[in-house]
Chain A
Amino acid sequence: MCLRLPSCIVLLLALGQFASADVITYGVTVDTSSITGTAGSLDLNFNPGPLLAQAANLRILNFTSNGAVSGTPSITGDVSGILPGTLTFDNGTGFNDYFQAFTFGSNLSFEVMLFGPALTTPNGSAMSGSTFAFSMFSDAAGTIPALTTDLVNGFAATIDVNLDGTTTVTNLSAQTGINPVPEPSGAVLIGAAIPLIGGLLWFRRRQRGA
C-alpha cells in the first residue's frame, strides 16, 4: 500500500510509460522563436533497420504552430496525411518520409504516437528495430539544419523502437522538448486509484480516530 500518494502516482506514470505497451506517445514542443519568419522545412521519417524488422506504426498528431505549412509536401513510402492534419507512417518500406516546406513562427508542437506489433508483442525473432527522425531546416530544400546540434545529419530528435518493444529518445535540439504523454488507460487507472487511495487513508484515519 502506498502511503505517500504523490510517489505512487509518479511510479505508476513511469511504469505506464516505458514498459512495452499498446501505444507509446511523446509530446514534442519546439521553441522556434529564433527563426521566426524563416521559410524553411520539416522532415519526418520512420524507417526499419537493415535486418529483419517487425511491423510498427507511427502517427503525428495535434500538430500546432503559429507558423504555416506551405506548398505540397513530398511523401515517400508508407505515409499518409498532410500537416497540420494527422500523419500516419508504417515501416513497411525502407524509406517512409514526409517533407514539408514550412514558414516558422515562434513555436510548434505535435505528438508522436508509436504502436503496432513491434511495440505490442515483440516476437523475439526480429533483428532490426525502427527509428523515427525529426529534422528542421532553415531552407525550403532541406539542406541547412536548424535548431539542432547535429550539423552533420541535421536530426533534431530521434526515437528508436527497440527489439523489446521499448523506445529510446535522443534529443539533439536545445530548443526541443520531448516528453512522454501518459496513456489514456494509465491515466484512468491513476485517476481511479487516487480516490481509492484517498478512501483508504480516510479509513485508516478513522481507524486511528476510533
Chain B
Amino acid sequence: MPQIRVIEGQKKVRAPGFLALVPVLIGRSTFWAQVPAAFLLGLAVFACSAGAQTPATGTVSIPSVLNYPICAGVPWGDFWGVTVNGVTAQISDYPPPSTTAIVAQQLAAKINSTITFVTASASQNVITITTKATGSATNYPFSGYFGPYQIDGNFHPGCTGFLGGLPTSGPTLTGGMDAPVQGYINPKYMIVGLTYAPPGSQSSATYTNSVSVGNTTTINSSFTNQTSVSVSVTAQGKIPAFADGKATGTYTNTYGQTSSTSNTVTVTKTTQVSDKTSGPTNSVVGLNHDFDIIWLWLNPVLPLSFPPTNPNAITWSGFGYDANDQPGLDILPVFVGWLNGDIPVPSNVAAVLARTWASSYTWGPNTGPGLTGPGLNTDFSTILQADPFGQCTPMPTSCPTTVDSTRFTLSDNQNVVYEQAPPGGQPITQTYQLQYTNTSTQGQGTSTTQSQAYGLDVSFSGGLFGSGISTAFKTSNTLTWTTSANTSITNTGTSTALASITGPACTPSGNSCSPAYTGPVEFEIYQDNQYGTFMFFPVNGTTSAPLAMPTSSSLPNPSSGLPYGPQLLTATGGSGTGYTWCVQSGAQCVQSGPPMPPGFSLSSKSSCGNACTQIALSSTGTPPAPVGSYNFTVQVTDSVGGFAAQPVSMNIAQGPLNVTGQVAITSSGLAYSRVSQTFNGTVTIKNIGITAIGGPLQVLFFGLPGNVTLTNATGNVSTTPYMTIPGGLAPGQTVSVPVQFKNPLNNSINLTPSIYSGRIN
C-alpha cells in the first residue's frame, strides 16, 4: 500500500484523495459525485504551491555581424546557434542581419521554439537564457557558435569559412532553485455519482437543483509506491482542459472547483437540469439493483507538480479533463447490470468505454486505454464496489441483508409502499420529496477504497515529469483513492430528489394476479453518505430478486409407456436457500392443484448457481400413463417464504407396445477395438411367445452409464438410446443386431434393455 505522509503546516489543503461531490454531467442534476483523488500535473496553468523558485540562467552574446565577401562568385551568409544541454537552436540569414540586436532577437525566438525547457529573451546583442525547470545539481551546459555558410549549398575549396564560438556567461547555466516539474496523469475514469433504481417500472427518483457539498477524500492509498510521498492539494475555480502535455486553456463553464477547507476540494456543477433514474421494466421483479446507475467521468486529468530534486513532494492542483476526448467533461451513466455482467453492454456504449482516443498514451501492460470487464479484477468490478448492492441480482446470496449505518442514513420519510393492485384495480402511486441532510456526525466513517490504472501522456516520455513520476509512482501506473463522507459537510444549498413509487399492475387470473408480486411491500429510503443520493431498502426483506419461474412451459409431449425426461424446471431469485418443490398439494405446497400424469415424478432439486434451483420432471414409462391431456402446476418456495409457480401442460400420445415379457434378450461379449475405440458385440432377441410380434421393433437400452454412448443407436427416448429393427418376430424367431459402445472410461456396462413393438413418435 502506498505510504503517504502529510506534511504538517503545508498549505491549507491536505493530501487528498479529494473527492469533491461533482454534480454530475451536463444535463445532470444534483447528486454529489465524489471524485477520487488523483495526481495532477498542471502545465503552467496552476500555481505551484511549493514556494518561490529561482531558475538557472546564463547569457550568450552576439559580438558582431559577419559580412563575408563574395568568394568564388558565391554570396555567403551567416549562421548562429546556441546549444543548451545538448539541444540546439540555429538560425541562418542571407544577407546577414544588419545589427547584432536583430541576430539576438531572431536567435532568442528560435531558442524559445526549439529548446523547450528554457526561455530566451534578447536585449541588444545579449540573449538571456533561463531554465523553466532545473535543479541546482543540474546546471545545463550551454554554448553558442556562428559561422558563414554557402548559400548555394556547394563546397568551394578556395573559400574557407570558420566556425567560431559566441561569448557566454559560462560553460553552464548557473544558479537556480527547484522549479516545479509539472504534468498530469490520466486515470481511465472517476466515479462521479451513484443513483439507485427504485422498485417498479413506473417508479423513478428525479434529482434537481445544483448544490455544492464539500466532501473529504483521503489519499493515503493513492500511490502504489515503496517510498514515503508527501502530498499537498490546491484547487482553483475552473476545471481546465489538458492535451499533449500542456494545459490548453479551454475551460468548461459548467463545472468549477475550489479548496473549501483544508481537507476538502469541491467540484460544483452550475446548470440546473433534472436527472431521472427509473425502476426496472418488470414491476413484478420489484427492486432490481441491476438498474442502479454509476456515473463515470471518462476523461479526467489529474495535474500535479513536484520539485525535480524531490519527486516525492507532490502538489495536486485540482482536476482537469482531457481535451483529446471532447471539449468538456465526458460523463457517462453506466448501469450496474452492465458492470456485473448480468446485462450485455451495448456496442455503442462499449465503444465509449473503450476510450480509443487515449490509445496513444503510455499504459501499463493490458491496462488501458479502455475500461476492462465484466469479470473479476477488472475495471468493471472495481467500479462496482461503489454500489454495495451491485451483485444483488446475479448473486442474491452475496447481497447485504442489512443497511450499513455508516454508509447510509435513514431519511425522514415514512416507508415507501409498493403493493400490487388487486384484480381489476390500479396500483398506488406515492411521491416523496427527499432532502439531503447534514452528516457531520453520522456517516463520517464511511469510505470506499478503489484502485485503477492510469495512463501517461506521451508528451512526458523522456522528460523530467516522466522520470520524476517514475520515482514517485514506481511506474506501476496504478492509482488508488478513497472515497469517504465529509467529516464536516457544509450545505451551501439544498440537494433534493423526488421519488415516485408506483406498485405493480395486476393481470387478473381468476381471483389473483398472474404473475403475482410476492416481494416486499414496504421500502425505507436512505441517503448515501458518500454520494448524497437516495437508496431504497426493503422492510423485513432482502434486496435480492424475488423467487420467480417462467409463466409458461414448452416441454415436449411424452409417449405413453416410454420413458420421459428429465426435463428441467428452473426457479431463479429468492433467498438462495431452502428451496422446496412440489406439485398439487402437501404441506410444502402453497397452492393445491391437479396432479402430474401417472408415473411422473419430480427428482431431487439441484443448484444451478447462486439463487437458482432446478428440478427434473421425468417418468420411467412404467406404468404407462394414459393417453390424454394433463395440466398441473409446479411450485417452489424458499427459506423466507418466497413463492413461485409454473404451469405445465402435456399431451400424452399413444406409444409403442412393450413386449419385453414376450422376448428373450441375450448378447455376446464385447470385444474392444483400439482402432475405433469402441466395444463391439451382438444383441439377439428371440420371440419366446406363441404370437407374432409386429414390427418395427424398438430396443431401448436402459441403464447405460452416463458416459457411455451407443454409437449405432437409431435415436434417443429421453436419455435412453434405442435401436430400431424394421421387421417383426414370428414365434420362435430370432434377430440379432450389432451394438457398438463408446466407453472412454472403460466402465462396466450393465444394461436393462426393453423391447417395444411399434413406432416411436
Binding site for B on A (CB under 8 A): 43, 45-53, 76-77, 91, 93-95, 97, 99, 127-133, 135, 137, 142-145, 151-155, 158, 160-163
Contact = CB atoms under 8 A, between A and B. Distances in A.
Given A129-B668, A155-B673, A163-B666, 5 more contacts: A46-B669, A48-B670, A50-B739, A50-B741, A94-B743
Q: Which 5 pairs between the two chains have the least Cβ-Cβ distance? A: A131-B669, A94-B748, A153-B673, A133-B671, A154-B675
A154 B670 CA distance: 14
Contacts of A94: 670, 679, 743, 746-749
B709 interface: no
Interface in B694-753: 701, 739, 741, 743, 746-751, 753
A50 B674 contact: no
Contacts of A46: 669
A66 to B, nearest CB: 24
A131 B739 CA distance: 14
A77 B747 CA distance: 10
A151 B667 CA distance: 23
Given A91-B669, A93-B748, A95-B746, A47 B674 contact: no
B667 to A, nearest CB: 4
Contacts of A133: 671-673
Interface string B650-676: 000000000000000111111111111
Contacts of A144: 675
8 contacts: A49-B668, A95-B679, A128-B666, A129-B666, A131-B681, A133-B672, A152-B675, A163-B666
Contacts of A158: 671
Interface in B435-465: none
Interface residues of B, number: 28
A130 B672 CA distance: 12
A49 B746 contact: no
Interface in B490-545: none
Contacts of A76: 746
Interface string B672-689: 111110111101000000
Give the residue among A129, A137, A143 with the most B Cβ atoms within 10 A: A129
Give the residue among B671, B743, B746 with the most A Cβ atoms within 10 A: B671
Contact of A49 (B672, B681, B701): B681
A146 B670 CA distance: 21
A128 B667 CA distance: 5
Contact of A153 (B668, B678, B746): B678
B705 to A, nearest CB: 10
Contacts of B683: 50
A128 B675 contact: no
Contacts of B676: 152-154
B384 to A, nearest CB: 51
Contacts of B681: 49-50, 131
B665 A127 contact: yes
A129 B671 contact: no
Contact of B667 (A50, A95, A153, A155): A50
A91 B743 CA distance: 17
B669 A53 contact: yes
Contacts of A51: 665-667, 750-751, 753
A154 B673 contact: yes
A49 B736 CA distance: 14
A43 B674 contact: yes
Nearest to B710: A50
A163 B749 CA distance: 18
Contact of B666 (A99, A127, A135, A137): A127
Given A50-B739, A129-B668, A129-B669, A143 B749 contact: no
Give the residue among B670, B701, B739 with the most A Cβ atoms within 10 A: B670
Contacts of B665: 51, 127
Give the residue among B680, B681, B701, B748 with the most A Cβ atoms within 10 A: B681
A131 B674 contact: no
Contact of A50 (B672, B673, B746, B749): B749
Given A49-B681, A76-B746, A131-B681, A143 B666 contact: no
B675 A143 contact: yes
Contacts of B669: 46-49, 53, 91, 128-132, 160-161
Nearest to B664: A127
B666 A47 contact: no
B672 A47 contact: yes
A26 to B, nearest CB: 15
Interface in B395-430: none
Nearest to A160: B668
Contacts of A145: 675
Contacts of A154: 673-676
A59 B579 CA distance: 57
A50 B671 contact: no
Nearest to A158: B671
Contact of A95 (B672, B701, B753): B672
B627 to A, nearest CB: 32
Given A131-B681, A160-B668, A163-B666, A50 B751 contact: yes
Contact of A131 (B670, B701, B746): B670
A28 B748 CA distance: 29
Contacts of A131: 668-671, 681
A43 B668 CA distance: 19
B754 to A, nearest CB: 12
Contacts of B751: 50-51
A141 to B, nearest CB: 8
A95 B746 CA distance: 6
B667 A45 contact: no
A45 B746 CA distance: 12
A176 to B, nearest CB: 15
A155 B674 CA distance: 9
A50 B750 contact: yes
A155 B749 contact: no
B124 to A, nearest CB: 93
A45 B670 CA distance: 9
A162 B668 CA distance: 7
A53 B670 CA distance: 11
B671 A97 contact: no
Contacts of A143: 674-675
B749 A45 contact: no
Contacts of B739: 50
A133 B670 CA distance: 9
